[in-house]
Structure 1
Amino acid sequence: MRTRDENKEQLVRQKALELIVNQGLEGFSMQKLAKAAAVSPATLYIYYKDKEDLITQIGIEIGKKFSSTILQNFDPTLPFAQGLRIQWRNRAKYAIENRLEAEFYQQMRSSSFREKVMGSFMDDFKTAMGQFVHNSVQRGELSPMPIEVFWSVAYAPLYNLIQFHNEGHSLAGKRFEFSEETMNQTFELVLKALKP
């Protein structure tokens, strides 16, 4: 029986992320992964049962990391502006420092793996965020609105800034780099839009 090699396992994981992000789930195969990682296809099956198991395991690992990063120093009882600011900082830090993982996670959200992957870590996250929004509405710090509207106003602007940063330019083609100043300016506008 062949033994697990942690370095090789990390290499396989990294190459899987790169292939999935760059070629999509449809273009991903265990054969391509074995070639990219310079291992035999049999080696992959030491770590994963099959392609679905590999994608699911990586997705769950990244999802848990994403969720725990977002909830760092966050408490649902915080005042709305303070809690949202922590969320923005945590989300920006994760997305910029873990670009490949963040892009992989986005693919999982709109794939057939969504339920299997996200169901493994979303309960605590949903509970914390639900309490935060509820508390903020009860205190009159946040206008009541459907969750889809809240997310679109509260977080989409941040993710657009991160996308501009990742692409290296703005809509006008001007060089763009994510900064605390730009984040804070955008954040203040978002707060105004969400307050009653």
Structure 2
Amino acid sequence: MNIHLHLHFKFKVMRARNLDKQKTVKENAIAMIGQGGLENFSINKLAKISKVSVATIYIYYKDKDDLIFQLTTEQGAELADLILKDFSPDMSFEAGLRQQWINRYHQMMHKRDSVLFMVQVKSSSYYRDFLKVLMNKIKQQLNQFLENAINRQEIDRIPLEVYWSIAHAPLYSLIKFHYEEIDLEGKPYQLDESVMWQTFDLVVRALKKNHP
């Protein structure tokens, strides 16, 4: 084999292995922080669980702070892309909000480690970094969506915090019950889509003008 081709192939294999290692490190770090909190997280514990050396982790990240910062900003970018999937600011209010619920529901049901990670980060200084990345990617489209709905006389203009509390907080409350697997009476609970859409209809009635 030509020496140059051999070296090129060897480099590609090593690079693929390194990317796999880094992916494992990231996934384990997100799960560890989500389950145990930031205060119990350490590079040594991460290395042990990931079956790599501490030195390997320091190839990818300067220190623990850099690791958490990068994970937080990556999660912000990933969530932004998911929120905007199949969404357009030109949608009707009900259709656009429905797509938002679909996207957020799938994220919270299928990326539990990421959701729990962000719950832990929310009470830390890293949360501002997360919000900065997230809002930079979604703010313009979501604001335009709301402005279009207001201009079409579909909804009233209300403070953003009030809108979010009505439009999205009910979904997050249902997901919380689902995660905890227990309802208000202490009985086993599992969220299904029929309950979610029943809740969605109530949300739309609360926000839309002249809703039938």
Q: TM-score, normalised by structure 2?
A: 0.85
Counterpart in 1 of 2:168?
A: 155
- Separation in 2, partners of 1:193, 1:117: 30
Counterpart in 2 of 1:17?
A: 30
Letter matched to residue 49 of structure 1: K
Alignment of 1:52-71 (within 5 A): 52-71=65-84
Counterpart in 2 of 1:179?
A: 192
Letter matched to residue 67 of structure 2: L
Shift of 1:8: 1.9
- Separation in 2, partners of 1:106, 1:67: 16
| Alpha-carbon spacing, 1:180–1:118, altered in 2? closer, same or farther (3 Å) | same
Residue 138 (structure 2) pairs with residue 134 (structure 1)? no
Counterpart in 2 of 1:79?
A: 92
Q: 1:50 aligns with which of 63, 72, 75?
A: 63
Percent of residue pairs bearing the same amino acid type: 43
When structure 1 is superposed on structure 2, of 22-31 and 88-97 the one drifting more is 22-31
Q: TM-score, normalised by structure 1?
A: 0.92
- Separation in 1, partners of 2:153, 2:181: 39
- 8 Å contact 1:63–1:105 — kept in the other structure? no
The secondary structure found in structure 2 opposite 1:176 is coil
- 8 Å contact 1:95–1:162 — kept in the other structure? yes
Shift of 1:57: 1.3
- Separation in 2, partners of 1:105, 1:22: 11
Shift of 1:157: 0.5
When structure 1 is superposed on structure 2, of 88-97 and 109-118 the one drifting more is 109-118
Shift of 1:110: 3.2
- 8 Å contact 2:38–2:121 — kept in the other structure? no
Residue 133 (structure 2) pairs with residue 120 (structure 1)? yes
Letter matched to residue 192 of structure 1: R
More helix by share: 2
Structure 1, unpaired ranges of 5+? none
Instruction: Report Cα offsets for 1:69-103 as digits up to 9, x if no partner.
Output: 11111111111111000000000001111011112
Structure 2, unpaired ranges of 5+? 1-13
Counterpart in 2 of 1:164?
A: 177
